[in-house]
Amino acid sequence: MRPNVGDATSPAKNPKFVDPNTLFNRVNNLYDSGRLQEAVGEPGANDLLEHTNDNLVRNKQILRNQNAAKAVGKAVGVGAALTGGAKVNHIFDPETGLLPIQSSK
């Protein structure tokens, strides 16, 4: 949304999404060409490049954690199916994996 166009609720109705990989590559290319430094100055260019890199790293961590959570969810679902629908509570131990702590029907 452009400044002075529309109202404050418009972006909430039509959100825009940015791919962190694409954003980082474009900012990095602008930085390499020197155009980013011309536009926002050296400190601003460094800050923008650092923030886009941090965002890219955080996004990769989030995706990795989501995939791990999906795998655990599938494993727990399969485990529940194998126990005949018994409720199995687990805790996560990073060294040994999932540990059953109690089971009940």
Q: Which two tokens stand for residue 70?
A: 């999906």
CA 34 – CA 58 distance, rounded (Å)? 26
Q: What is the pTM of this model?
A: 0.56
3-class DSSP state of 9: coil
Q: What pLDDT does 25 receive? A: 94
> Which positions of the chain have pLDDT values less than 70?
1-12, 14-15, 75-105
Domain ranges of the chain: 10-104
Q: Which two tokens stand for residue 95?
A: 């060294």
Identify whether the C-beta of residue 48 lies closer than 8 Å to the C-beta of residue 27.
Answer: yes
| Residues contacting 37, CB < 8 A, separation 6+ | 31, 45
Q: What pLDDT does 97 receive? A: 58
> Using CA atoms in the order 39, 45, 51, 54, what is the torsion angle rounded to 10 degrees?
130
User: Tens of pLDDT along 74-87?
Assistant: 766 655 555 555 55
Identify whether the C-beta of residue 32 lies closer than 8 Å to the C-beta of residue 38.
Answer: no
